[in-house]
Structure 1
Amino acid sequence: MIPRKFELLPEHLYPSQEWAIVETAFSQPWMGNAETIFALSNGFIGVRGLPEEGRPTIESASFCNGFHETWPIVHAEEAYGFARTGQTMVNVPDATLLKLYVDDEPFFLPTARMVEYHRELDFRTGVLSRTIHWAAPSGKQVYITSRRLVSLEYRHLAAISYEVTVDTDAPVVISSQLLNRQDSFASDERGNGGPLSDPRRSKGFTQRVLNARHHLERDLRVCTGYRTTNSGMVLGAGMDHIMETDNPWQMQRSWSEDLGKVVFTVDARPNVPINITKFFTYHTSRTVPAVEVVDRACRTLDRAMRDGYQHLEERQRSFLGEFWSHADVQVDAEPQVQQAIRWNIFQLCQASARAETTGIPAKGLTGQAYEGHYFWDTEIYVTPFLTYTDPRVSRNLLRFRHSMLGHARDRARELSESGALFPWRTINGEEASSYYAAGTAQYHINADIAYAIKNYLDARGDFDLVAEVGAEILVETARLWCDLGFFSPETGDFHIHGVTGPDEYTTVVNDNTFTNLMARRNLRFAAAMVRRLREERPEAYAHLVHETGLIETEWAEWDLAADAMYIPFDMERGILPQDDNFLEKERWDFAGTPIDRYPLLLHFHPLVIYRHQVIKQADVVLAMVLLGDEFTLEDKRRNFDYYDPLTTGDSSLSACVQSILAAEIGYEEKALEYFQYALFMDLANVAGNVVDGAHIASTGGVWMAITYGFGGMRNYNGALSFDPRLPSTWGSLSFRIRYHESRIEVTLERECYRFELIEGDPADITVCGTPLKLLPGKPLEVAAPEAKPE
């Protein structure tokens, strides 16, 4: 992997704290990073970490998961089967705005004379708080405190508590706004909607997106219902307020299609606080009219006004208390490491907690990059964390994939194939990848989804989910592999041609090793689950046959294809070629490529990249991690040694995977190096684009690197094992997992490993090759083996 220089957050601005990110001074150079780092979300609503006063900003944005606009994809040259309709997550009206004026002077962070500034995101409360002492131009001393949250308990609700106090008489104006930024600005300061500069960035719109269809004003409440121009989706956005002060005040309300205002004019007296609580809500729909979503928004606001802001904070703390009791990871290492681990895990919570009936966008709801699309990231990098810590969410995500099955069947027909082909990138279930070579050709997404189902079953023992939705997915994905591949008339091997693996710097190849290995696992698992369903759940099996037209001869075909699957192998090097002719290509000139020419995709034509042995992200190495039971330790070491020097790390999905395999094969130094890249991917802006949002797959990969890599945790076919690789620079590592109906705490120290059943049924585990049984009230301690040199 190409070394990347990254800069940790400066300690004088962002001092390390184990349970929070703290900002001690406003800094414009770090402002874009901070907008992402301090973003709040619950999986349905997301707001970036902007100041309540609205300025300055790099990317002003709020989001609702799944709420999107569509647009026609224009191809330079048309061809049958190209994706036709793009989908982009909409920047919904911003309700965080509370513009402040004292003596008619606006509070503006870059020019304000600060006596005190403190902003903090607490991972235990889910509250973004801020304290400011502003010496206004008039000489008056102004004290501002705010607390903001996006409720993890109430899916559609967020709130701000905003208080201003002045040390002497002064006119104070606070303008609370609901601003449609999506249509107020055709593009942002960085060029969204302008010339293409980075294909990872989101598309801007030149036409209007949000059209007001219904409006309601009452007391301190403003609600608007919008309908998107093309997708026809409906949004209800609303805000309401509680004003608490002993100062004389007046209110003025106004509304236009793009801006709703409630303006508070206060005759402030010395040291008499002005407290405004602002509740805001979003509801979306594909089917109901705008008046209905506005009505839903009003009901949410009614409940919030009744319960009050403090109730929301109490419920938030309770929610996160439960979350951390399952998900916390503790390390005896540098303070920045512990802080960064918890920030990454907190991002996983924010991205997934209330993502019911949706997927998880690549950036969560912290930014608009990648259009807010769902990728394979969810199944391979995010669901492992959820499966072992919050299986409810994992189940919901797999059910959501099942809801896309109809579109996936249609897409398979469009590509002249049987079964179903899930979209490479999507929001509504239709393929939205305009560049098929690095998009639609990544057929491995089918096997990735099947893998996630198997991983869930292995970890939970929950066959109900397989019976309800998993089996149908498995049948249709297995059918696709059988139709896509073919048996060689000369050798009898089963080949899969014309696909792209995880490495997007090598596209449309024959027999991509990762794809073939994962497809083989998919085929075998599908056949096994259908047989089990017929034997154990005859009614569910009958339903499956009815829904899919399944016939018994298909199972045998799946097994035959799996048994005959061609897996490339190079005898001379003793490695698995990434595809059938990868090793025939010229190696990339890494020595002659300056560091500022990475990522390669922004500086070289795709054809230049495709002609070389150069890897964007782990491919064969990822297969070695996911399907580790199919390879020996020496297999893994030889393949890692060959592919590691070829991997640029231009993808944020790579470092965590390389860390896991490096740890397993005993390369501690490399394992820690890659872990650092993954751990600080966003906090240190390793990829150079944190302003566009957090890398959610990488945050999931951080948890995997800790538990799979340093914790040595594996679960092959439901058999849980641990072979720890605790770094020599760490004093200890502790984490908890859910396994079947048990909760297990794992504590790794230099001299011994401790395993304790926290609650639930007795559990069978294997530690360093020794089978053990965990019983209630009887922790087990295992002596740590002596470390082996690299």
Structure 2
Amino acid sequence: MKRIFEVQPWNVVSHDFNRAEKRLQESMTSLGNGYMGMRGFFEENYSGDTLPGIYLGGVWFPDRTRVGWWKIGYPEYFGKVINAINFIKINIALNGEFIDLAKDEITGFELNLDMKNARLTRSFTVEKGTVKVVVTFERFLSVAQKELSVQRVRLKNLGSDDVDVKIISAIDADVKNEDANYGERFWEVLQTDQKEQSGSLVAITKANPFGTPRFTVGAEMHHRTALQAKVAAPAHDKEVVNGFSGKLVAGSEIDFEKRVIVVTSRDYHTQNNLVSAMNAISEKTDNLSYDELFDAHRAIWAERWEKSDVKIEGDVAAQQGIRFNLFQMFSTYYGEDARLNIGPKGFTGEKYGGATYWDTEAFVLPFYLGVAEPKISKNLLKYRYQQLDGAYHNAKKQGLKGALFPMVTFDGIESHNEWEITFEEIHRNGDIAFAIYNYTRYTGDKSYVLNEGSKVLTEISRFWADRVHFSKRKQKYMLHGVTGPDEYENNVDNNWYTNYMARWTLAYTLQVLEEVSQEQAAVLNVTEEEKQLWQDIVDRMYLPEDEELGIFVQHDGFLDKDIKPVSEIPADELPINQHWSWDKILRSAYIKQADVLQGIWNFIDEFTPEQKKRNFDFYEPLTVHESSLSASIHAILASDLHDENKAVEMYERTSRLDLDNYNNDTEDGLHITSMTGSWLAIVQGFAGMRVRDGKLHFAPFLPKKWDKYQFRLLFRGRLIEVGVDTNGVSLELLEGEPLTVGLYGKDVELVAQSSVFV
């Protein structure tokens, strides 16, 4: 497998500018600070193939979805993230010729994403006639001041002659989404202001017929440079520009710094307030140097790494993979804003519309529980609670009671336009319920589940109780017309995972109802008749199983398919989603991602080793792993089954899915929500971390390819460091009260500032 970036522990670096892989490089050098983010596209105009993209958290647009086959129950619109105003634009002319790397011949190219300090740099040498200038770009999105984007350009003249330099810096609202219809634009400019060395632009998303909020965005740029300000005319009426020019003397260098403040109507509700906010933040940062701004940004990243870094010795590719995934996760979300969530592509591309999926509850929350303070995970739970009204709406549109949380959303209203996903992949209701349980089990904090969480659980349970039907023939409750986690199996009956999660949710809700206060019980108003029905469904839910094979059957009819392992598919037909028709995929027995195995992972201690092994051995050979969410679950289960080779194979896939472009689709953007999988594969997989009855347990092994691995884990007010090497396992309590943990089935006492080695 060809790698376009070098393998280094803290950096993603390339010295090869391959124009054919430009989009791939852009995806993998994306930056974000939770508030906003951008692909690694160039500051200057690039006339070749590129996918520019800047995205602002919570800013989206409802795209029309009504088509000829529209049916009752379809969502009215498809929510999509929109490409924000391009505020990083910097064009450079040397002796009157603007740089365009799609055409210019360059040497000394380097593209470097510094993950430790969250900064992107790019440098190259332009040689034209007597001109020989090294151009270096730097950019970072401050985590110390979330509204701040900082760029610096350094020009160094290596030639023997002076060079005339011209720089045009712009804020450009004439942008579009690549997936927009007929070049549709989404921004209308409300006001512009252009001064000698600064400028600002305020724009609003265009009107829509669905009544969803319009978003106003303001960007204000300021510059620092020894170059002289020069009047420059905008290229069009949606742009604000500042021009600068001067002479770059032979043997000298010049710096050009651009700072942009970006604010939105999510925080400032009037145009005047928005402009005032830009001015205030600019004044706050104006007296700080580039180095001071960067040091404040870097210090916060150092704190994050101190809590969460995973160190691997003996396998640099594995080390780079886990750090890349941690870096991109923290760049996308760190829990500061409960109104935000995590889209599958984060701030790195348009695909999947930038909205919230079930990935958050199933894969992201268990990761944040271990690497960050509990309030961050709690904000993910609150996000759903705040959108209960939308969940009621979604269920009502299907003629059902209770709450159906959306498959895809920005505001709680379902906004995805594929029926088999939108209203058949209803297992996400169970995943959201499981997240509440997961948070409670891990933190020991019942304040959410006994209050807001009990409301969410109750309304989900009301939905399940209405969605099931009772088979008189089998005397069982069933769920027909669903899609499980495996999206290569649509509109099936009795998906085992969906049925299992529905049954479990009802049972868990009944348990929680026994614990809520009288006041909360009155709010929930669950009748005895409801409770009796829920218990009857729990007792008589149909779960397909094959006694001869000893497996849980993915859905009715699955075993009637032509069961052949993935190894029989010709290599040139993989991935099948890029070579086979949808019809052929649906008729096959090939599995996109863990389905039955997803349920076994959720409740890994509830199944016997024999059950886990039989199901893993049956389903894994049928799995093409064409979902980014697949490999991590298989790595954890393989570790649990002591299948080290398969566990390491799946870890390598999940940790380097984007770095090595496993599924040939990373140019669209990174697989952000699945990036938690590499951490889960190490912590739950290789280290065997489990929480049983409020107690932490470990059963680590060291992959043969590695010399050592080490990670830190937050658990109930403690910070624990776990190290595994060829000599054994070490546990150290770095912060917090003494704690008893299980290690290979035996109790170990951890006391602060002391280590236990086994």
TM-score band (shorter)? Answer: over 0.9
Residue pair 2:345, 2:671 contacting (<8 A) in 1 also = yes
Q: Residues of 2 paired with 1:292 and 1:777: CA distance?
A: 50
Residue pair 2:565, 2:622 contacting (<8 A) in 1 also = no
Structure 2 SS opposite 1:587? coil
Q: More deviation in 296-305 or 599-608?
A: 599-608
Query: Of residues 657, 674, 677 in structure 2, which corresponds to 1:698?
Result: 674
Change (3 A) 1:588 1:228: farther
Q: Residues of 2 paired with 1:645 and 1:274: CA distance?
A: 59
Cα deviation for residue 179 of structure 1 reads 2.0
Q: Which residue of 2 aligns with 1:160?
A: 151
Residue pair 2:193, 2:240 contacting (<8 A) in 1 also = no
Instruction: Describe the superposition over 1:270-305 as per-residue Cα deviations: whole angstroms up to 9, x where unpaired.
Output: 444332221123323369344443333333333232
Q: Which residue of 1 aligns with 2:7?
A: 16
Alignment of 1:80-119 (within 5 A): 80-119=72-111
Q: Which amino acid aligns with 2:740?
A: D
Cα deviation for residue 484 of structure 1 reads 1.3
Q: Which residue of 2 aligns with 1:373?
A: 355
Q: Which residue of 2 aligns with 1:221?
A: 198
Cα deviation for residue 589 of structure 1 reads 8.2
Cα deviation for residue 530 of structure 1 reads 2.8
Q: Which residue of 2 aligns with 1:597?
A: 573
Q: Which residue of 2 aligns with 1:320?
A: 301
Report the aligned-residue RMSD: 2.3
Q: Which residue of 2 aligns with 1:352?
A: 333
Q: More deviation in 754-763 or 232-241?
A: 232-241
Q: Which amino acid aligns with 1:273?
A: E
Q: More deviation in 639-648 or 520-529?
A: 520-529
Query: Of residues 201, 208, 222 in structure 1, which corresponds to 2:185?
Result: 208
Structure 1 SS opposite 2:175? helix
Change (3 A) 1:761 1:205: farther
Q: Residues of 2 paired with 1:504 and 1:297: CA distance?
A: 45
Q: Which residue of 2 aligns with 1:658?
A: 634
Q: Residues of 2 paired with 1:309 and 1:484: CA distance?
A: 58
Cα deviation for residue 556 of structure 1 reads 4.6
Q: Residues of 2 paired with 1:712 and 1:765: CA distance?
A: 13
Q: Which amino acid aligns with 2:200?
A: C
Change (3 A) 1:399 1:28: same
Structure 1 SS opposite 2:650? helix
Q: Which amino acid aligns with 1:703?
A: W
Instruction: Describe the superposition over 1:115-145 as per-residue Cα deviations: whole angstroms up to 9, x where unpaired.
Output: 433332111211112333333x131232323
Change (3 A) 1:324 1:95: same
Q: Residues of 1 paired with 2:531 and 2:198: CA distance?
A: 60
Q: Which amino acid aligns with 2:169?
A: S
Cα deviation for residue 733 of structure 1 reads 1.5
The question of 1:737 aligning with 2:728 is answered no
Change (3 A) 1:612 1:133: closer
The question of 1:405 aligning with 2:388 is answered yes
Q: Which residue of 2 aligns with 1:36?
A: 27
Cα deviation for residue 181 of structure 1 reads 4.6
The question of 1:237 aligning with 2:213 is answered no
Q: Which residue of 2 aligns with 1:197?
A: none
Q: Residues of 2 paired with 1:313 and 1:481: CA distance?
A: 51
Q: More deviation in 486-495 or 441-450?
A: 486-495
Q: Residues of 1 paired with 2:580 and 2:15: CA distance?
A: 41
Cα deviation for residue 437 of structure 1 reads 1.1
Residue pair 2:593, 2:626 contacting (<8 A) in 1 also = yes
Q: Which residue of 2 aligns with 1:67?
A: 59
Residue pair 2:134, 2:157 contacting (<8 A) in 1 also = yes
Q: Which residue of 2 aligns with 1:150?
A: 141
The question of 1:484 aligning with 2:444 is answered no
Q: Residues of 2 paired with 1:346 and 1:207: CA distance?
A: 33
| TM-score, normalised via structure 2 length | 0.94
The question of 1:265 aligning with 2:245 is answered yes
Aligned-pair identity in percent equals 29
Q: Residues of 1 paired with 2:284 and 2:49: CA distance?
A: 32
Alignment of 1:268-283 (within 5 A): 268-283=248-263
Q: Which amino acid aligns with 1:105?
A: E
- Give the aligned length: 748
Q: Residues of 1 paired with 2:18 and 2:196: CA distance?
A: 38
Q: Which residue of 1 aligns with 2:755?
A: 779
Instruction: Describe the superposition over 1:139-185 as per-residue Cα deviations: whole angstroms up to 9, x where unpaired.
Output: 123232332101122222211022223354322101111123534xx
Q: Residues of 2 paired with 1:554 and 1:626: CA distance?
A: 27
Q: Residues of 2 paired with 1:765 and 1:607: CA distance?
A: 51
Structure 1 SS opposite 2:86? coil
Q: Which residue of 2 aligns with 1:786?
A: none
Q: Which residue of 2 aligns with 1:178?
A: 171
Cα deviation for residue 445 of structure 1 reads 0.5
Q: Which residue of 2 aligns with 1:438?
A: 421
Q: Which residue of 2 aligns with 1:463?
A: 446
Cα deviation for residue 37 of structure 1 reads 0.9
Q: Which residue of 1 aligns with 2:487?
A: 504
Change (3 A) 1:736 1:64: same
The question of 1:636 aligning with 2:603 is answered no
Q: More deviation in 720-729 or 443-452?
A: 720-729
Cα deviation for residue 605 of structure 1 reads 4.3
Q: Which amino acid aligns with 1:484?
A: R
Structure 1 SS opposite 2:134? strand
Q: Which amino acid aligns with 2:197?
A: L
Change (3 A) 1:560 1:333: farther
Change (3 A) 1:468 1:321: farther
Residue pair 1:227, 1:290 contacting (<8 A) in 2 also = no
Cα deviation for residue 490 of structure 1 reads 5.2
Alignment of 1:564-713 (within 5 A): 564-587=540-563, 593-713=569-689
Q: Residues of 2 paired with 1:602 and 1:151: CA distance?
A: 38
Q: Residues of 1 paired with 2:567 and 2:656: CA distance?
A: 26
Q: Which residue of 1 aligns with 2:702?
A: 726
| TM-score, normalised via structure 1 length | 0.90
Cα deviation for residue 503 of structure 1 reads 0.5
Residue pair 2:344, 2:674 contacting (<8 A) in 1 also = no
Cα deviation for residue 63 of structure 1 reads 0.7
Q: Which amino acid aligns with 1:65?
A: G
The question of 1:127 aligning with 2:119 is answered yes
Q: Which amino acid aligns with 1:381?
A: F
Q: More deviation in 461-470 or 499-508?
A: 461-470
Cα deviation for residue 317 of structure 1 reads 1.2
Structure 1 SS opposite 2:424? coil
Q: Residues of 2 paired with 1:550 and 1:403: CA distance?
A: 21
Q: Residues of 2 paired with 1:463 and 1:72: CA distance?
A: 41
The question of 1:424 aligning with 2:407 is answered yes
The question of 1:7 aligning with 2:2 is answered yes
Cα deviation for residue 374 of structure 1 reads 1.3
The question of 1:169 aligning with 2:146 is answered no
Q: Which amino acid aligns with 1:736?
A: R
Q: Which amino acid aligns with 2:100?
A: F
Change (3 A) 1:737 1:72: same
Structure 2 SS opposite 1:182? coil
Q: Which amino acid aligns with 1:171?
A: D
Change (3 A) 1:102 1:344: same
Cα deviation for residue 355 of structure 1 reads 6.1
Q: Which runs of 4+ in 1 moved over 6 A?
A: none
Structure 1 SS opposite 2:636? helix
Q: Residues of 2 paired with 1:241 and 1:441: CA distance?
A: 50
Change (3 A) 1:716 1:512: farther
